[in-house]
Amino acid sequence: MKPDLRTAPGAMILTLAMGGMSAGAALAEDSRWRDCRTCHTVEAPDGTVLARGGRSGPNLYGIAGAPLAGDGDFGFYSDDLRAAAQTGARWNADNFVAYMTDPDAFLRNVTGNPDASSGMHVELRSGAREVFDYLRNLSE
């Protein structure tokens, strides 16, 4: 049987992804970070840009373990994300996934305000955990 050239690259990616956690995470990043970089950059405190992107959203460097609305240089946080930050919550894999899946619902749950709405109009229905791992690895 002749090898099908159209499926060959896909088969190769699968092999890479199964080769180790890091290869899998890197691949997930490539497809998902595209949904974020329009608005987000990942920039280390020394100014090194680890993932280039836009500036209409906060810097996502060190987001794992960071307080909500914790980018002191970002001046456009919504009142509702700031209100959620008043709970003292910090970003972890679970609340990150909840936020990415439905930002408005997340803020309503955390603040108890049924009218809370996010300044980020993006919903990531799958792959949020991989993006979180990617951001955490990038910031280490």
Q: Where on the chain is the footprint of ligand HEC (CB under 6 A)?
A: 32, 35-36, 38-40, 56-58, 60, 63, 68-71, 77-78, 81, 96, 100, 118-120, 122, 124, 131
Please give the C-alpha separations between residue 40 and each of 51, 60, 112, in angstroms, as whole numbers: 9, 7, 27
> How far apart are CB 16 and ligand HEC at their closest, in Å?
22
Is the CB of 6 or the CB of 38 nearer to ligand HEC?
38
Distance (Å, rounded) from C-alpha 53 to C-alpha 41? 4
> Could you tell me which of 15, 57, 14 has the C-alpha nearest to residue 33?
57
Backbone φ and ψ of 39, nearest 5°: -115, -15
> How far apart are CB 15 and ligand HEC at their closest, in Å?
26
Is the CB of 14 or the CB of 122 nearer to ligand HEC?
122
Is the CB of 20 or the CB of 34 nearer to ligand HEC?
34
> How far apart are CB 3 and ligand HEC at their closest, in Å?
35
Is the CB of 41 or the CB of 58 nearer to ligand HEC?
58
Tokens (6 digits) for 13: 């990616």
Counted residue by residue, the chain has a size of 140
> How far apart are CB 2 and ligand HEC at their closest, in Å?
39
Please give the C-alpha separations between residue 70 and each of 74, 77, 88, 118, in angstroms, as whole numbers: 9, 10, 11, 15
> Could you tell me which of 137, 127, 96 has the C-alpha nearest to residue 28?
127
Is the CB of 40 or the CB of 136 nearer to ligand HEC?
40
> How far apart are CB 5 and ligand HEC at their closest, in Å?
32
